[in-house]
Amino acid sequence: MRLKDRVCIITGGGRGLGRNMALAFAREGAQIVVSGTTESAINSTAAEIRASGSRAIAIVCDVSDEDAVGGMVAATIREFGKIDVLVNNAGIIGPTAAVTEVKREEWDHTIAVNLTGAFLCAKAVLPHMAERRSGKIINISSVAGHKGYPLRSPYSVSKWGMIGLSQTLAAEWGRYNIQVNTISPGPVRSDRMDEVIRRRAEQSNRLIEEVAREYLGKLALDRFVEPDHIAAAAVFLASSESDSITGEVIQVSSGYGLT
Give the pLDDT of residue 245.
98
Give yes or no for a contact between 170 and 181, defined as CB atoms under 8 angstroms apart.
yes
What residues contact residue 255 under an 8 Å CB cut-off, 6+ apart? 186, 219, 220, 221
Residue 247 has pLDDT above 90, yes or no: yes
| Mean pLDDT taken over the chain | 97
Helix intervals (H) in the chain: 16-27, 39-51, 66-80, 104-111, 117-132, 153-173, 191-204, 208-216, 227-238
What SS3 class is residue 5? coil
Of 12, 25, 7, the C-alpha closest to 63 is 12
Q: How far apart are CA 136 and CA 21, in angstroms?
A: 15
Please give the model's pTM, rounded to 2 decimal places: 0.97
pLDDT, tens only, 43-58: 999 999 999 999 999 9
> Is 176 among the catalytic positions?
no
Read off the pLDDT band of 244 (50, 70, 90).
very high
Q: Output the CA angle 83-88-92, nearest 5 degrees.
A: 150
What SS3 class is residue 32? strand
Q: Across the strands, what pairs with 97?
A: 152
Q: What is 7-188+226-246's CATH number? A: 3.40.50.720
Give the CA distances from residue 56 to residues 29, 33, 49, 94, 241, in Å, rounded to whole numbers and listed in that order: 11, 6, 6, 30, 24
Q: How far apart are CA 3 and CA 7, in angstroms?
A: 9
Per-position b or e across 197-229, b if 16+ CB within 10 A of its CB: bebbbebeeeeeeebbeebeebbeeeebbebeb
Read off the pLDDT band of 259 (50, 70, 90).
confident
Question: Which residue type does 33 have?
Answer: V
Q: Which of 155, 176, 215, 256 is the catalytic position?
A: 155
pLDDT, tens only, 168-194: 999 999 999 999 999 999 999 999 999
155 DSSP 8-state letter = H
Q: How far apart are CA 1 and CA 29, in angstroms?
A: 5
pLDDT, tens only, 194-223: 999 999 999 999 999 999 999 999 999 999
φ, ψ of residue 30 to 5 degrees: the values are -75, 155
Residue 146 has pLDDT above 90, yes or no: yes
All structural domains of the chain with their residue ranges: 7-188+226-246
Give the pLDDT of residue 26.
98
